Amino acid sequence: MLSDYLLSDYMLSDYELTALLLSLKVAAYAVVWLLPVGVILGWVLARKEFVGKSVLDSLIHLPLVLPPVVIGYLLLISMGRRGVIGSWLYDWFGVSFSFSWRGAVLACVVVSLPLMVRAIRLSVESIDIKLEQAAKTLGASPIKVFFTITLPLTLPGVITGVMLAFARSLGEFGATISFVSNIPAETQTIPLAMFTFLETPGEEMAAARLCIISIVIALLSLLTSEWVSRRVRRRLGVSQ
Amino acid sequence: MNQGVKVTFQKHLENVEMNVDFIAPSHGITAIFGRSGAGKTSIVNAVSGLLSPDTGKIVVNGRTVFDSTQGTNIAVEKRNLGYVFQEPRLFPHYTVQGNLNYGVREKDDEYFNSIVELLSLEPLLSRYPKGLSGGEKQRVAIGRALLSKPDLLLMDEPLASLDLPRKREVMPFLEMLSKKVKIPILYVSHSLSEILRLADHLIVIDQGKVVSDGKIEDVWSSKVMRPWQSFSEQSTLFSATVSKHNLEYGLTQLQFVEGLTFWVQQVDAEVGSTVRLQIRANDVSIALDKNEKSSIRNILPARIAGIEYQHYGDNKKSVSVKLDLNQGCYLWATITKWALDDLKLEEGMQVFAQIKGVSVSQRDIAIANL
C-alpha cells in the first residue's frame, strides 16, 4: 500500500538509527569526560602562573592544528592495545580502547579539548576577581568561593564549551577512523557511515539521508544551547 | 564588648612607603582620611588580609590576625571582618536575599530582620542586583557585610562611586549605622563632608604615615587639616548637648560644657541628645567688651590662646585666633590683620567671642553617637 511505503520511507532504518544513537552516545560520553577536565584546565590557565604554562597551553591546543589522522595515529601508538599507555591500562584495569566505542570517545575528547578549555578559560578570565575577594571577606573558603561564585559565573563559558565539544564530537571523523577503524554498531558514527555509503556505488541516496540527519541534529543542538545559555545569562544578570 | 583595633605595620609599595601605627577605638566610626595615593586603602586591605604587610602586627578585637615576628597571617576568610568596597561587588547570580545571606554562619532571623529594617532592604529582597540603583546596591553590600557578624567593619569610600543624589540617599543609613552597630568601623574617605557627618575619630594619612590621630573635634582644628580647609572653610567642631528648644523664634540652645551655652537655628534633635556642630571661623568675631546692644545672640567670654598668620596665595591674608572658651574648649576665629592691630590683640588677653546664631544651622550639625 502507498501509505505503508511512505511511512517506512520517512522512518529511520535500523542501520541509520544505530549510527545515530552511537554518534549521540559517543559525543555525550566525550562531553561528560571533558567537563571536569575542561573546567580544571580552563581555571588553571586563567588564574594560575607556573613554569611550563605556555607548554601546557600549546599541548592543549595542538589537536586544533594537527590533522585528525595524525591524532588518530598518535592515539593508536600510545593508547592502542599494544600502545605505551594502552597496554599498561589493559594489564592493570582490563580497559581497552582498540576497536571499541570507548576509543571513539577518547578520540573525541582529545580533538574537542581545546574548544572546551578555550571557552571556559575566556569565561573565567572575564569574571571580576573582586567578586571572589568580596566572597572571601564574607568568610567563604577557597572551595566555597569556587563552587558558589567562580563556577556559576563561568556557566555561560561552560555551556559554549559543551556545545562546541558536542558538535565537534558529532563531526569527528579522521582521528576516529584511524584509531578505532570503521566497525558498524561499535565505532561507526554518522560521518563514518556516510563515508561507507559514499565508497559504495549506488548508495548516494543513503548518504544523502545521513546528511539530512546530521543537519537536523546539528541544528537541534545549536538551538538547545542557545536557549539554555539565554536562560543562564538572564539568571546571572548578564545582559547579552 | 569589642576591644577595638591595633594596627602597626610597614609595607613597601610601588608608589608609597607605608609605615602605619594607630589604635581605633572599640566603637564608632574611625575615619582614615588623606589624599588619594596616601595609602588609605592599603591600610584597610592590610587589616582585611587582602594585602600582606612586610612587618608589623595587627590585632582585631583582641585577636592577632597578623604578626610578622610570630609568622601569623590569618587568611582573609578567617578574619571575621566585614568589608564594604568602593563598588558594591554584589554577586549577580544571587538575589538580594541570597547576597545578604552569603556570609551568614548561623541563621539568626531576628538579626537579619533588624539589618533589613535598618537599611530598608525589605522591598528589594527578591530582586537581583542588576535592576538595583547604585545607592540600593551599596545598601545591600553594607547589609551583607554586617550580616556576617564581623568583629570590625571596613568601609573603603563606600559613597565615592555614587552620584550626589545617591550619596544623599545612603548617608542617613550610614549615620544610623554608626549609632546602632556595636562594632568599630574603619571608614576610608577623602571627603571632608562625609567625615564631618560620620566620623567620631579621625586618622590623617599622608605619604603612608599617620600624621594625626584622635577625636575628630581635636584633629579637625589642628594644623594638619589646614591644607584641606580653604580660606572660607576653616572651622571648629564641637560636641554639644541639646538643652532646650525655643519654638517661637525657631532656635535651639546647645550646651558645650557646664555653664557654656549657645543659640543656633532650630535643630531636629530631642532635648538631651548629643549633636556635633561646626562653627566656621569666618562667622566668629572678636570684641573687647561685651556689647549688649547687638543683634548677635551668642557672646561668650574667652581668652586668646594663640594667634596664627595665614597666607592663601599672594593677596589673601588673614589671622586665625584660637580662643579658649573654657578649659580645653577652643574656638577658632578668622579676622583681618587690620583688626588684630587695631584691637592690639595678643595671647592671654580676655576678649568676647561673638557668633551669629543664624549662621549655624542644621547642615552644620550632625547627630553624633556619643
pLDDT value, residue A67: 93
Average pLDDT (B81-100) is 93
Q: What is the CATH architecture of B235-367?
A: Beta Barrel (2.40)
pLDDT value, residue B271: 85
DSSP conformation class of B64: E
Please answer yes or no on whether A139 and B77 come within 8 Å at the CB atom.
yes
Query: Is the pLDDT assigned to residue B367 strictly greater than 60?
Result: no
| Nearest residue in B to A141, CA atom | B77
The β-bridge relationship of strands B251-257 and B260-265 is: antiparallel
| Nearest residue in A to B153, CA atom | A137
Q: Are B176 and B146 in contact (CB under 8 A)?
A: no
CA B55 – CA B66 distance, rounded (Å): 9
Query: Is the pLDDT assigned to residue A183 strictly greater than 80?
Result: yes
| pLDDT tens sequence across A54-78 | 999 999 999 999 999 999 999 988 8
pLDDT value, residue A60: 93
Q: Please, what is the average pLDDT of chain A?
A: 88
Q: Which CATH superfamily includes the segment(s) A13-236?
A: MetI-like (1.10.3720.10)
Q: Are A197 and A113 in contact (CB under 8 A)?
A: no
pLDDT value, residue A66: 92
Residue among B61, B65, B40, B35 nearest B52 (CA) = B65
ipTM (interface pTM): 0.77
The residues of chain B that CATH labels 3.40.50.300 are 5-228
A238 falls in which pLDDT band (50, 70, 90)? low
At B78 the three-state DSSP class reads helix
Q: Which of A123, A133, A138 is the best mutation test for B, with the most CBs of B within 10 A?
A: A138
Query: Is the pLDDT assigned to residue A127 strictly greater than 70?
Result: yes
Residue of B76, B82, B145 with shortest CB distance to A136: B76
DSSP conformation class of B254: E
Cell of B136: 540600593
Residue of B50, B105, B128 with shortest CB distance to A139: B105
Helix axes A151-171, A190-199, angle to 10 degrees: 20
Can you list the pairs that B86-89 forms with residues at least 24 positions away whose Cβ atoms lie under 8 Å? B86/B156, B86/B157, B86/B158, B86/B160, B86/B161, B87/A130, B87/B161, B88/B129, B88/B134, B88/B137, B88/B138, B88/B140, B88/B141, B88/B161, B89/A128, B89/A130, B89/A131, B89/A133, B89/A134, B89/B141
Which has more pLDDT, A17 or B292?
A17
Query: Is the pLDDT assigned to residue A27 strictly greater than 80?
Result: yes
Cell of B42: 592599603
pLDDT value, residue B256: 81
For the entire predicted model, the pTM comes to: 0.78
pLDDT value, residue B368: 46
Write the secondary structure of chain A as one string of H (helix), E (strand) and C (coil): CHHHHHHHHHCCCHHHHHHHHHHHHHHHHHHHHHHHHHHHHHHHHHHCCCCCHHHHHHHHHHHHHCCHHHHHHHHHHHHCCCCHHHHHHHHHHCCCCCCCHHHHHHHHHHHHHHHHHHHHHHHHHHCCHHHHHHHHHCCCCHHHHHHHHHHHHHHHHHHHHHHHHHHHHHHCCHHHHHHHCCCCCCCCCHHHHHHHHHHCCCCHHHHHHHHHHHHHHHHHHHHHHHHHHHHHHHHHCCCC
B129 touches chain A (CB under 8 A): yes
Query: Is the pLDDT assigned to residue B369 strictly greater than 70?
Result: no
Q: Are B75 and B146 in contact (CB under 8 A)?
A: no
pLDDT value, residue A29: 95
Q: Tell me which of A214-223, B176-185, B218-227 is least confident.
A: B218-227
pLDDT value, residue B232: 60
- Calculate the dihedral angle through the C-alpha atoms of A96, A97, A102, A104, rounding to the nearest 10 degrees: -170
Q: Which CATH superfamily includes the segment(s) B5-228?
A: P-loop containing nucleotide triphosphate hydrolases (3.40.50.300)
pLDDT value, residue A116: 94
Q: Please, what is the average pLDDT of chain B?
A: 85
CA A146 – CA A126 distance, rounded (Å): 15
* Domain coordinates in residue numbering, chain A: 13-236
Query: Is the pLDDT assigned to residue A2 strictly greater than 60?
Result: no
pLDDT value, residue A26: 94
pLDDT value, residue A239: 45
pLDDT value, residue B28: 85
Tally C-beta pairs within 8 A across A and B: 61
B314 falls in which pLDDT band (50, 70, 90)? low
B207 touches chain A (CB under 8 A): no
| pLDDT tens sequence across B99-145 | 999 999 888 899 999 889 888 899 999 999 988 988 899 999 999 99
pLDDT value, residue B361: 66
Cell of B318: 588673614
pLDDT value, residue A96: 79
Cell of B137: 546596591
